[in-house]
Chain A
Amino acid sequence: MRISVEINGRSHEGEVEPRTLLSDFIRHGAGLHGTHVGCEHGVCGACTVQLDGEPVRSCLMLAVQADGRSLRTVESLAPPEGGLHPLQAAFQETHALQCGFCTPGFLMSIEAFLREHPQPTEHEIREALAGNLCRCTGYKAIIEAVERAAERLHRP
């Protein structure tokens, strides 16, 4: 089936089988390798992307279901002129990643979360992170990164 998906503002077209997962289309069809594939059954959250602004598991959607829709992946975060998104910078400063495999999923989940909760409590942050697994950091540094990013993004 022929599909056309807008990813990070650019249209990506491709021929896919109905069974092609969206995560595989993003990586192999569109060639965007920032989205990582971990468990492929919706548990780890590494493949999280934003579909029309909302965080979703790209391994739990078929590519054909994204036809005509608009996606954002981790590649959209850093400004085109270079440097890091404030959330990425906060992750770097607080050592909120070690191997980095889970990081794209965390970033895309948290970026959406902070839009809905500009001044989150620690409890809200912990709940928001529950859908993403990290096997390196123990989460403390990630929570700190989210707090730091929230402060900076919220400051007028």
Chain B
Amino acid sequence: MKPAPFAYDAPRQLGEVLELLAREDEDVKVLAGGQSLVPLLNFRLARPDRLVDLNGVESLAYLRVEDGALRIGALARHADLERSAEVASGWPLLAEAVRHVGHPQIRVRGTVCGSVAHADPAAELPVALCVLDVRFHVRSVRGSRVLGADELFLGFLTTSLEPDELLVEIEVPAPPAGSGTGFAEHARTHGDFALGGAAALVAGEEARLALLGAGPVPVRFDGAPGDLPDAAVADLSLTGPDAEWRRALLRELARDALERAVA
């Protein structure tokens, strides 16, 4: 199908973007990579009055390391993350997870911040970011605020971002010294939506684990590496005829991710 009509703006400055998002008389949506939004437009599941295209705002197109933290601007693409030597050496978990996002043709366009703001429960990056203690920087004409993963993700495709707010940057601190990370997922074909996944960070006797496919938002668990796989899946409220299969799958993926983290 084709999208319903909408008004379109392609501003060059962040300030203009925020002004447009603040219009109260219209349903305004942000267009970044478009790899999730455009299908929704084509299906007419989304019928915004106005699209604000970020692609011309050059000040948002960055991926850089500053004061030891990785800073991912709103226009940084999945492919930028995938191809960055700094990410590969400093944040290998992100380099690993991003290769599971869609296909090369999707990663060339899709943005990291867009994927986070879309909050699909089957998305890889929110789960990987969740174990890295990231900070989400949000801007609007009203001001700015900083959110943690537990404050941002509220439910299925739902975040705490207000209609006038833009996720402008994800700040990823350096993983703790001496720690290792691992990612594992199961999908029917490479690049398809994952049926389950796990991201892990292990620093000595302490580990962090986040699961994908365990609920409407990334679920994070902290504890001893040996206990985590069983502890994490024990309390998951999985429903449906395949609930026990999914629980077993998630336990195995958790174990796999934790093993990779110490390897």
Contacts and interface: CB of A to CB of B under 8 A. Distances in A.
Contacts, number: 86
B5 A17 contact: yes
A131 B38 contact: no
A7 to B, nearest CB: 18
Interface residues of B, number: 32
Secondary structure type dominating chain A contacts: mixed
A120 to B, nearest CB: 12
Contacts of A41: 38-39, 42-43
A144 interface: no
Contact of B104 (A1, A59, A131): A131
Nearest to B7: A18
Contact of B105 (A21, A48, A64): A48
A101 interface: no
A42 B8 contact: no
Interface string A19-58: 1010010000000000000001110010010010011110
A61 B118 CA distance: 17
Contacts of B4: 19
A61 B8 CA distance: 13
Given A42-B35, A59-B38, A60-B35, A130 B103 contact: yes
A22 to B, nearest CB: 10
A56 B102 CA distance: 12
A141 interface: no
Interface in B38-61: 38-39, 41-43, 51, 53, 55
Interface in B4-41: 4-8, 10, 31, 34-35, 38-39, 41
A54 B3 contact: no
Nearest to A42: B39
B198 to A, nearest CB: 20
B263 interface: no
A42 B1 contact: no
Interface of A: 1, 17-19, 21, 24, 40-42, 45, 48, 51, 54-57, 59-62, 64-65, 109, 112-113, 126-128, 130-131
A-B pairs with the 3 shortest C-beta distances?
Answer: A131-B103, A18-B8, A41-B39
13 contacts: A18-B5, A41-B42, A42-B39, A48-B105, A54-B108, A57-B105, A59-B38, A60-B34, A62-B53, A64-B8, A65-B34, A130-B191, A131-B106
Interface of B: 1-8, 10, 31, 34-35, 38-39, 41-43, 51, 53, 55, 79, 102-106, 108-109, 189-192
